[in-house]
Amino acid sequence: MPRINRFSIAATLVLAVSAFFVPAVLATPEHAKETGQPCITCHLDPKGGELNDTGFSYKTNGHVWPVVSSTPLLPLGGATRAVIGFLHVTSAFFWFGTILYVHIILRPRYAEKGLPPAEVQLGAVSMAMVGVTGLCLTLARVNGWHNFVDSRWGMLLGVKISIYLFMVGTAIFVVKVIGPRLKEGLLEAEHPPDGVFAPEVLAAFDGNEERPAFIAYNGKVYDVSNLFRWKGGKHFRHLAGMDLTAALAKAPHGAEKLASLPVPGTYDESRKPPKTMAQKVFYFVAYMNLALVFVVLLVIAFWRWWA
Ligand code: HEC
C-alpha cells in the first residue's frame, strides 16, 4: 500500500508539472489566437522563436494580454497607480454624472440662456483631473506610440483618449464661443412680429439693464416698466419676464392693478421661440457629448472582453 501511495503521489506530481509546462510549449501559436495578434507582435521572426519586447512582457506578465511595456515611460508602484486610478475614476464619475444629470434630467434647455458658472467649473475641474490622472496611468504602462497600435488594449486606449480630447475640445468651444452667444440671445428683448410672446421671449423682458419689464397674466402681456414698484424688474419676490397668473392669485391685491397698463401682446405658454444659431449648435454638441459618454462606457466594457 505505501508503494502505491508513493507511486500515485509521484504520478500526480508528474501530471501536475507537465500540465504546467506542456500547454506553455504546445500552446505557443495559441498566443496568436488568444490575443488576435500576428506572430511578429511578439516574435522577432514571424516563424516564432526569439521574443521581442512585447513578447517578453507578455511572457513576464504571466501570458496576460494586454501587453504593457515592461519599461514604461513613467515607472510607478502598484499602490501609486491604484491611488491615481481611484482619482481618475472618481473625477470621471463627476464629469459623466454631471453630463447625464444635466442632459437627461434637466435637458439642455436649462442652459439656453447661458452656461451656469458652477457647472462650467465642476466640468473644467473634473475634465482636468481625468486628463492628468489618465496621462499618468497611460505613461505608467506604455513606452511609446507603438503601444497604441500593437494591441487591442492599446487601440481601445487610443479611442478613449481621442474621445476625451474631442470632448475637451468641444467643451472649450462651447464655453468660449457658444456660451457668450447664448447669453447675448437673452439681451435681445425683441417684440414677436405677431405679438404672441413665448415664455422664452417674455423672459428677455426682465427689466434689467435698461430692458423693458413685462409680465404675463391670464394670457396677456403687461408692460410694468414705468411702475415704481417694479423698478429693476422686481416686485417683492416676483420677477419680470414671467407668467404671474398663479402668483397674482395669492397677492394682497387683484388684477385691477393691471387694468391701466399697456398691453404689448398676448402670452402663449406652449409657443416655441425661434432658435438662435448658438442654441442649435449648443443642442447638437450637448447630445453628441451624451452619445460619446455611452461610447466611452462601451469601450471600458469591451476592454475586459475584447482586448
Ligand atoms: C502574444 C504574443 C505571441 C504571439 C502573437 C505569438 N507568440 Fe509565439 N511565443 C510567445 C511566447 C511568450 C513564447 C515563449 C513560450 C511561452 O512562454 O509560451 C512563444 C513561443 C513560440 C515558439 C516556441 C519557440 C521557443 O523558443 O520556445 C514558437 C515556435 C512560436 N512561439 C511560434 C509562433 C507563431 C508561428 C506565431 C504566429 C502564428 C506566434 N508564435 C505568435 C508569444 C507569442
Q: Are 159 and 299 in contact (CB under 8 A)?
A: yes
Pocket test for ligand 1, best of 20, 26, 31, 68 (most atoms within 8 A of CB): 31
Question: Given a cut of 60, is residue 12 above it in pLDDT?
Answer: no
Burial zone of 60 (CB within 10 Å; 0-12 exposed, 13-18 middle, 19+ buried)? exposed
Ligand 1 pocket (Cβ < 6 Å) reads 24, 28-29, 31-32, 35, 37, 39, 41-43, 47-49, 51, 55, 58-59
Q: Is pLDDT at 247 greater than 80 in this prediction?
A: yes
> How long a stretch of residues is the chain?
307
Q: Is the pLDDT of residue 263 over 90?
A: yes
Mean of the per-residue pLDDT values of the chain: 81
Query: Closest ligand 1 atom, CA of 41?
Result: 5
The protein residue whose alpha carbon is closest to atom 32 in ligand 1 is: 48
The pLDDT of residue 157 is above 70: yes
Compare 76 and 4 and report the one with higher pLDDT.
76
Instruction: Provide mean pLDDT across the span 105-130.
Output: 80
Residue pair 72/141 in contact by the 8 Å Cβ criterion: yes
Distance CA 38, CA 180 (A): 52
Q: Count Cβ atoms below 10 Å from residue 252 Cβ, excluding itself.
A: 5
User: Is 262:191 a contact under the CB 8 Å cutoff?
Assistant: no
